[in-house]
């Protein structure tokens, strides 16, 4: 015991002091690795017995990248061998991470643009405005499985115009400055119209059943009047007929009895959506009789002089922002109001020169409400809003870590837990400098998790960690799975969101994510799962059989995403378990490795298990499939859409499997027990939460933080809140690396 303690202290001291290969890594390798990974036939073709000096070791970067990956994943030493102690793990990985190219790069703060969800949530919470960012803003790229990584959230110059238009739309909805007694009117003459044939500068003729129109942008949803001045060239038994259109919607039909020298105005009233629309006049009853003896009765046509839209006429609903922030607005208090609003929008205090610049965006002759609207467009188009800026303070040492100030920390915290801007309470704590205190951070995380806005963790973090975004695109074969449709797809997604949210808010141990006795279903899901007594489209909480449906591994969202369109895929399911739940991704398949045959004949000749066994018999395939297949086969009682089954194609389902270390597991229950044996599940959640919170891939320093974070969790009692608090209190979350100086 004394020898072990001294060795542990020596390793720990060496790690702290920054010792070399012989002092830090070699003792660990000798104790745990070299016996198998040396000699004429080292296991896995990995020879670690040839390294005796720092120079020899550093010359083989690829070897240490492999060792780091396998040790990080918990694969080395094997499960039957003694595990590395925390001090040994720190010593070995600490040395590897010091080798250029072998460890991960140092974590750098990456400039992060607001993604669609963050933009939508922020303008909703700041202004009470619902805005569809997915439809109106440039697409978000995904990196590392998440849509929050600064390295992929670029903003090309060509996309800036969309953000300006979005700012104008949000500002118009946030600040209503309309006079219903004198609504705006947009007039469209022949020069602006498309369609028909111009006759001079005052007329457009329609000589067949066509339309003529123009595009007009409506400021908002509301009540409008659309007018058309027209007349007919009459012929035949009926007068010319016309329809007024908004897009393809017919607002009204009219007998146009007016003639050339006495045109008339035809009016339609309608409730219309805001935004750009095409308004048109359509000729409905063309008539042409060239042989009629009366030359005035041979040809019926429609002529349009102009189209105009007036409105909205209804009294606008004032936004929550306008009620709260702009009551009693005047020229005298306008600068102070702009300063307060800009400080919230930009997530830090606005300087006087910035306020002056915002005030200058609108004419001084405009009323105060319109000047606020102009200033809002400037605020929302600014990089200070679109990006989560963390500028280095004067005097900061290049390359060194610095503590975030209160406003930067408040922003990181709110976008991590809410995907939205800091609220007033966070702003107050940021201003008085108390937010960085451990106790304050813990209380704020608890408060924020109780807030409904924390549902974004389920919609944003959980769905992406669980790799469920492809659920929107999967297409199970309708011939084999006729119950699958768009409603069922939506129910699958909703179940997982509600389930994760319940585990989070009820402070349940993370083990219940894979081993619970409840879930959330509607009638469609209940029918798929065989749960009686559930009616209607609303999700409700139900008790489930833990042997079949407890936790994520029994949820249709996960089981469908990890299947093929025509059948289950134990390989995909095993890979998903390793990557998502165990933080132990398998290496990529070797080049040229074939895929599992999926023809009708193959399915008739052998079970899926038998075909996988044939696939694993190939040495080049076994290296991965020995790990993947046993995990996926444990879920074979679920079909490709998550329905329970006892047989497939007349063959009884065998959901037993043997893990690489020789342990036999039986079905989902045995798989769950195996998943919860070590710290892989907690590490997986913590790793993804850290990436999601930082908005970047983890670097070498972050990996050390992650190991310490996982060791500090309360074991089997660990909750999601425990992990989130640990992430928020970690050094990477509370610091930023100062930018290097470049000549």
d(CA 84, CA 426): 41
Residues 243 and 328 placed together within one structural domain of the fold: no
Q: Is the pLDDT of residue 551 over 80?
A: yes
Residues 472 and 618 placed together within one structural domain of the fold: yes
Report the number of distinct structural domains present in the chain. Answer: 4
Residue 563 lies in a domain: yes
Residues 627 and 571 placed together within one structural domain of the fold: yes
At residue 519, what are phi and psi to the nearest 5 degrees? -160, -170
Residues 565 and 657 placed together within one structural domain of the fold: yes
d(CA 522, CA 120): 28
Per-residue pLDDT, 619: 52
40-44, 237-241, 597-601, range with greatest mean pLDDT: 237-241
Could you tell me the CA-to-CA distances from 184 to 99, 316, 484 in Å, in that order?
Answer: 68, 14, 49
Give residue-wise pLDDT tens across range 350-375.
999 999 999 999 999 998 989 999 99
Residues 666 and 556 placed together within one structural domain of the fold: yes
d(CA 46, CA 30): 14
Residues 476 and 376 placed together within one structural domain of the fold: no
Mean pLDDT, residues 100-111:
61
Could you tell me the CA-to-CA distances from 103 to 13, 70, 71, 491, 691 in Å, in that order?
Answer: 20, 13, 12, 42, 17
pTM above 0.85, yes or no: no
Identify any residues that bridge with 276 across adjacent strands, giving them in sequence order: 217
Give residue-wise pLDDT tens across range 383-396.
999 999 999 999 88
DSSP annotation of 564 reads -
Residue 730 lies in a domain: no
- 640-641-642-648 Cα dihedral, nearest 10 degrees: -40
Specify whether the CB–CB gap between 684 and 583 falls below 8 A: yes
Q: Is the pLDDT of residue 15 over 50?
A: no
66-70, 266-270, 624-628, 700-704, range with greatest mean pLDDT: 266-270
Give, for 403, the enclosing helix (H) or strand (E): strand 401-403
Q: Is the pLDDT of residue 29 over 90?
A: no
Q: Which of 386, 406, 441 is the last residue of a domain?
A: 386
Give residue-wise pLDDT tens across range 197-206.
999 889 999 9
- 221-224-230-235 Cα dihedral, nearest 10 degrees: 80
Residue 14 lies in a domain: yes
Residues 474 and 622 placed together within one structural domain of the fold: yes
Start-to-end C-alpha separation, the chain: 55
Per-residue pLDDT, 79: 62
In which domain, by residue range, is 74 found? Answer: 2-96
Q: Which of 386, 409, 435 is the last residue of a domain?
A: 386
d(CA 21, CA 64): 12
Residues 506 and 525 placed together within one structural domain of the fold: yes
Residue 507 lies in a domain: yes
Per-residue pLDDT, 57: 79
DSSP characters over 261-314: GG-EEEEEEEEE-SEEEEEEEEE---EE-TT-SSGGGSEEEEEEEEEEEE---S
Residue 63 lies in a domain: yes
What Rg value do the Cα atoms of the chain yield, rounded? 33
* Cα Dmax for the chain: 122
Residues 257 and 325 placed together within one structural domain of the fold: no
Residues 304 and 374 placed together within one structural domain of the fold: no
Residues 653 and 508 placed together within one structural domain of the fold: yes
Give residue-wise pLDDT tens across range 111-131.
899 999 999 999 999 999 999
Q: Is the pLDDT of residue 27 over 90?
A: no
Report the 10 Å Cβ neighbour count for 595: 8
Q: Is the pLDDT of residue 685 over 60?
A: yes
Q: Give yes or no for a cis peptide into 534 (omega within 30° of 0).
A: no
DSSP annotation of 643 reads -
Residues 362 and 249 placed together within one structural domain of the fold: no
Report the 10 Å Cβ neighbour count for 469: 14
Report the 10 Å Cβ neighbour count for 82: 9
Residue 428 lies in a domain: no
pLDDT band at 605 (very low <50, low <70, confident <90, very high): low
């Amino acid at each position: 015991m004394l020898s072990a303690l001294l060795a542990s202290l020596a390793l720990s001291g060496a790690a702290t002091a920054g010792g070399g290969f012989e002092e830090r890594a070699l003792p660990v390798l000798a104790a745990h690795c070299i016996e198998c990974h040396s000699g004429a036939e080292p296991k896995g073709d990995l020879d670690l017995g040839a390294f005796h000096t720092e120079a020899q070791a550093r010359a083989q970067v690829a070897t240490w990248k492999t060792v780091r990956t396998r040790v990080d994943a918990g694969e080395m030493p094997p499960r039957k061998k003694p595990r590395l102690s925390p001090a040994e793990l720190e010593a070995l990985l600490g040395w590897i991470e010091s080798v250029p190219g072998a460890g991960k790069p140092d974590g750098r703060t990456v400039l992060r643009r607001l993604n669609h969800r963050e933009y939508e949530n922020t303008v909703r919470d700041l202004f009470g405005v619902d805005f569809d960012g997915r439809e109106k803003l440039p697409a978000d790229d995904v990196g590392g499985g998440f849509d929050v990584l600064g390295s992929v959230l670029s903003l090309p110059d060509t996309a800036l115009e969309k953000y300006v238009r979005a700012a104008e739309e949000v500002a118009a909805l946030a600040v209503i400055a309309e006079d219903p007694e004198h609504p705006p009117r947009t007039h469209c003459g022949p020069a602006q119209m498309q369609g028909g044939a111009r006759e001079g500068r005052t007329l457009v003729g329609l000589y067949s059943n066509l339309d003529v129109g123009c595009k007009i942008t409506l400021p908002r949803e509301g009540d409008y009047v659309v007018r058309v001045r027209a007349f007919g060239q009459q012929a035949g038994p009926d007068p010319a007929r016309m329809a007024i259109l908004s897009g393809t919607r017919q607002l009204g039909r009219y007998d146009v009895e007016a003639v050339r020298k006495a045109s008339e105005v035809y009016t339609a009233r309608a409730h219309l959506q805001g935004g750009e629309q095409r308004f048109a006049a359509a000729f409905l009853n063309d008539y042409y009789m060239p042989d009629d003896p009366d030359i005035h009765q041979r040809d019926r046509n429609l002529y349009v002089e102009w189209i105009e839209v007036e409105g909205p006429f209804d009294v606008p609903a004032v936004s929550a922002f306008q009620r709260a922030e702009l009551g009693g607005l005047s020229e005298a208090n306008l600068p102070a109001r702009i300063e307060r609003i800009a400080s919230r929008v930009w997530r830090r205090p606005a300087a006087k020169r910035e306020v002056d610049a915002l005030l200058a965006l609108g004419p001084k002759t405009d009323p105060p409400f319109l000047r606020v609207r102009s200033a809002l467009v400037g605020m929302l188009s600014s990089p200070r809003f679109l990006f989560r800026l963390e500028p280095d303070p004067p005097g900061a040492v290049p390359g060194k870590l610095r503590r975030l100030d209160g406003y930067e920390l408040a922003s990181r915290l709110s976008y991590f837990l809410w995907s939205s801007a800091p609220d007033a309470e966070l702003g107050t704590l940021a201003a008085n400098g108390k937010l960085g205190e451990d106790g304050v951070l813990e209380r704020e995380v608890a408060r924020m998790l109780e807030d409904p806005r924390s549902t974004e963790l389920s919609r944003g973090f959980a769905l992406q960690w669980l790799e469920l975004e492809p659920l929107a695109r999967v297409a199970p074969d309708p011939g084999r799975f006729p119950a699958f449709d768009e409603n069922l797809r939506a129910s699958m997604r909703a179940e997982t969101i509600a389930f994760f949210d319940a585990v989070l808010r009820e402070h349940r141990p993370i083990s219940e994510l894979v081993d619970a006795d409840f879930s959330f279903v509607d009638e469609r899901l209940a029918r798929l799962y065989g749960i009686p007594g559930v009616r209607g489209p609303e999700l409700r909480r139900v008790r489930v059989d833990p042997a079949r449906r407890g936790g994520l591994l029994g949820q249709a969202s996960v089981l469908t995403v990890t299947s093929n369109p025509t059948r289950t895929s134990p390989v995909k399911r095993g890979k998903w378990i390793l990557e998502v739940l165990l933080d132990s991704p398998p290496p990529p398949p070797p080049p040229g490795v074939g895929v599992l045959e999926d023809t009708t004949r193959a399915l008739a000749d052998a079970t899926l298990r038998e075909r996988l066994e044939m696939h694993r018999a190939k040495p080049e395939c076994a290296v991965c499939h020995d790990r993947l297949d046993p995990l996926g086969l444990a879920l074979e009682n679920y079909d490709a859409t998550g329905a329970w089954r006892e047989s497939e194609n007349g063959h009884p389902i065998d959901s037993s499997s043997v893990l690489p270390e020789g342990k036999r597991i039986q079905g989902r229950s045995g798989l769950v027990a195996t998943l919860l044996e070590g710290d892989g599940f907690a590490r997986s959640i913590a790793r993804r939460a850290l990436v999601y919170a930082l908005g970047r891939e983890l670097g070498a320093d972050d990996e050390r933080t992650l190991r310490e974070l996982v060791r500090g969790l309360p074991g089997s009692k660990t909750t999601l809140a425990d992990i989130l608090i640990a992430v928020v209190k970690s050094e990477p979350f509370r610091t930023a690396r100062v930018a290097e100086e470049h000549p």
